[in-house]
Amino acid sequence: MREIPGVFQRRIIIGAVFCVAAFALVGIRLVDVSLMRGMGRSGFADRPITARADLVDRNGELLARDLPVKDLYARPHVFWDKNEAAHDLALATGASEDRLRAGFLNAKHPYVLIARQITPAVESKVMRLGLPGLEFEPSVKRYYPDGRNAAQILGATDPDNNGVSGLEMGLQDHIRAAQDGAPVTTSIDMRVQFILAHEIAAQRQTFSAHAAGGIVMDVRTGEVLAMASLPDFDPNARSLSGDDTMRNIMSQDVYELGSVFKIFTFAQAFEDHKMNLDEVFPIGQGYKIGKYTIHEAERMPATLAARDILAQSSNIGTSQIALRAGGVRQKQFLAHLGLLSPIKTELPEHRQPLYPANWGNIETATVAFGQGISVSPLRFVASAASIVNGGREITPTFIKTDADRRGAQLIRPDTSQKMRDLLRYVVTNGTGKNANVEGYDVGGKTGSAQVPGEHGRYIPHALRTSFFAAFPIENPRYVVFVLMDQPHGIKATGGFALAGYTAAPLAGRVISRIAPLLGVPNTAPPTQLADGNS
């Protein structure tokens, strides 16, 4: 005869049944997570998120950091009303309602991605909907505390935290290999970056320029302290609006830069002993080369000494100097300075220079004053820095370094000295007067280039203006280059938009603000107090 289970035994049996059911539910859940999700959520495979090190400026200021966020998925088969759920989730997250509805009504996919990298505020909105079947998975989102400032240098990442532009892409392996949470220290000085971007934005607005940009670089280390490119974008927004662009015109675009290129023509003439500064050249009203005639941007006297050809920026005088050596030598010299090759830095964005396929006399003349050859501003700055830094090669870098990185001797030290003296003369006695900053002995050169249009023709009355500056010119430490794309003359400049009115004063203002921050000593004479008896 079987013994009837007692109350205590029945309780044990019931408890065992509950335990088995609980373990079964856990097992089902594990299968659901490991298998069903592994099969993909509405076409989205699980993506491993790799952490990235912080990016900081040379002084330790935070530039970029991973922030914890969440990705939101849904199991639409548990929704009571799929259309209503799609509408409500779209409002809460900003996702496309049509995409969500299509995903929810597709029975083939048990999971649908709603939105990636949602913030706590968005998560709170979603939770208030009270919908079943929602799942939040930990993720990260790259955050840039300075927003637009230095956006094109830093670049951006995609939803999987992979760099897609700028240093985020160029330094990808370095950023991911950083150990123990150590940041990656860039060469950027955000104090200088802010000043450069602020002054360029103000000047761009004043002269209604299509675009504008600038670079500040150490001529000994090659460190780029600042680089601005306008229009820019907000890397935190993850989308572009208005005239926003991720394009960095300083490294990614090539331009005919005009008369700043005369720096190289004069450096070559010094190297080849083809000219002395007191030599007088005929200028006239035009200079014929075959069927072509070289003209001046402004009215010039009948003759000019060589030093004044650069100071007053004479195209005719510069053409004559270049033709003394000829096109073969000119091409060889520019290649020697790196101007016929793209500049390679930690930035992935770069462009191949454009130059004449047939390099005859007319090409030699126009290249001498910066027309008919196009280079990126960063490529130009690197080569021009070699002219003033003692004549040694320098490659720009966006990584902080304390080392003097000057390399091979490209031109003789005495040629570099002569060019520094001549560039100072341009600022004191020539077209660069508006860049003069008392006490900092600025040297530099203006550039006003015609803008190429369709079918190889130049756009009437359109200019691209620039200014290259080095300071203190007797022993340069820093160079500043600024560019304005198609500025328009204003009443204060008499309607003129040449570089002397647009780019030169911009460079001067940048130098006056950054020089004290960079510890450049001011050599201005002390202020004389008025004598009380006078």
Q: Which residues are catalytic?
A: 259
Please list, in sequence order, all residues whose beta carbon lies within 8 angstroms of the beta carbon of residue 91, skipping any fewer than 6 positions away.
none
Spell out the residues 6+ positions from residue 380 whose beta carbon is closer than 8 angstroms to its own: 257, 260, 261, 339, 468, 481
* Separation of alpha carbons 51 and 67, rounded Å: 10
3-state SS string for 458-502: EEEEEEEEEEEEEECCCCCCEEEEEEEECCCCCHHHCCCCCHHHH
Which residues lie below 8 Å from residue 10, measured CB to CB, with a gap of 6+? none
Is residue 314 within 8 A of residue 307, CB to CB? The reply is no
H runs (alpha helix) in 293-412: 306-311, 315-325, 327-336, 361-368, 377-388
How far is the C-alpha of 195 from the C-alpha of 325, rounded, in Å? Answer: 42
Which of 448, 443, 447, 441 has the alpha carbon at shortest distance from 427?
A: 443
What angle, 0 to 180 degrees and rounded to 10, lies between the N-to-C axes of helices 262-271 and 327-336? 100
Helix axes 262-271, 413-429, angle to 10 degrees: 140
* 134, 138, 330 from 127: Cα distances, Å: 9, 16, 69
Largest CA distance in the chain: 135
* Residue 438 burial (10 A CB sphere; 0-12, 13-18, 19+): exposed
What is d(CA 427, CA 429) in angstroms, rounded to the nearest whole number?
A: 6
